[in-house]
Amino acid sequence: MEAALIATVDSDLDEENRALGASTPEELIEWAADQFGDALIASTSFGATSAVMLHLVHRVAPRTPIVCVDTGYLFDETYQFADALVKRLGLDVHFYSANMSAARQEALYGRLWEQGEEGVKRYLQINKVEPMQRALDELGARAWMAGLRSEQTEHRAGLRRIDRQDGRIKLHPILHWSSEEVDTYMKTHDLPYHPMVEQGYRSIGDHHSTIPTTADMDPRDGRILGQTRECGLHLPLTKEQDQSLKSSGL
């Protein structure tokens, strides 16, 4: 994107954030649905409190396609939780996975997540970044909603409710909600937590890189894949990654 166009887009986003910065999650989702129509998608990990965003989307914009990236290494409980929520809320969920199966990856490359930061980057690229980008392309998404919250990581603390990532609009309806507000919404609407929350798992990803945490720890301390505590989906692509996605057969 040319510099002049980027500046124009950023200026427009500044205006939208000023206008909608204090809006409720419902109001922001409704605005997004009106603005982008069939080109709007939402993503979910079916994690600890994913029912919140899924319920919000179900209430306000029920036709919105939901994308879940399935690495092939999710907990059994995550698959079961996802199935139950999809049925309860009548969600239109699209599951995307790597083009190379988990078994084939391990046979050819070993356990990439155990091979230092470079191995982790390759693991995330194959199993999370590429499938998500493929989903966005195939679904014709111009805008993407995600349930990120500013208190979760340093990167997320710097996000805006209406942002831009790799040429698409990125919306964060519950960005400024606290854990207490999430819990209140869950209780008000009788929504289920991921079943492993009761076992101390407060941030849930792949089974090989998720551990339980205690109340005095940051929930993201339970995610031990890489140094940033980010899964890669919500970070802008580097030029090299962008080129790789366009040319890779993975």
Tens of pLDDT, residue by residue over 131-166, are 999 999 999 999 999 999 888 777 778 888 999 988
Q: What is the pLDDT of residue 77?
A: 97
Asked whether the predicted pLDDT for residue 244 surpasses 70, the reply is: no
Asked whether the predicted pLDDT for residue 185 surpasses 90, the reply is: yes
Task: List the structure tokens of 236.
Answer: 């802008």
Count Cβ atoms within 10 A of the Cβ of residue 143 and give its class: 0-12 exposed, 13-18 middle, 19 or more buried: buried
Measured CA angle at 191 (ends 189, 194), to 5 deg: 160
Q: How many domains does the chain have?
A: 1
Q: What is the pLDDT of residue 5?
A: 34
Residue 3 is assigned to a structural domain of this protein: no
Q: What is the pLDDT of residue 212?
A: 87
Task: List the structure tokens of 51.
Answer: 């029912």
Residue 240 is assigned to a structural domain of this protein: yes
Residue 47 is assigned to a structural domain of this protein: yes
The string of pLDDT tens digits covering residues 28-61 is 999 999 999 999 999 999 999 999 999 999 999 9
Residue 120 is assigned to a structural domain of this protein: yes
Average predicted confidence (pLDDT) for the chain? 86
Residue 4 is assigned to a structural domain of this protein: no
Single out the residue of 133, 128, 135 nearest to residue 92, CA to CA: 135
Query: C-alpha dihedral over 208, 121, 161, 32, to 10 degrees?
Result: -90
The string of pLDDT tens digits covering residues 89-136 is 999 999 999 999 999 999 999 999 999 999 999 999 999 999 999 999
Q: What is the pLDDT of residue 51?
A: 97
* Domain encompassing residue 123: 23-247
Residue 155 is assigned to a structural domain of this protein: yes
Residue 17 is assigned to a structural domain of this protein: no
Asked whether the predicted pLDDT for residue 1 surpasses 80, the reply is: no
Q: What is the pLDDT of residue 21?
A: 77
Asked whether the predicted pLDDT for residue 232 surpasses 70, the reply is: no
CATH no. for residue 229?
A: 3.40.50.620
Residue 147 is assigned to a structural domain of this protein: yes
Q: What are phi and psi of 161, to 5 degrees?
A: -65, -35
pLDDT range class, residue 10, cuts 50, 70, 90: low
Q: Is the pTM of this model over 0.85?
A: no
**What is the set of active-site residues?**
231
pLDDT range class, residue 222, cuts 50, 70, 90: confident
Single out the residue of 74, 127, 70, 66 nearest to residue 94, CA to CA: 66
H helical segments located in the chain? 3-20, 25-36, 51-60, 76-89, 102-109, 116-124, 130-138, 154-157, 179-188, 239-247
End-to-end CA distance of the chain: 26
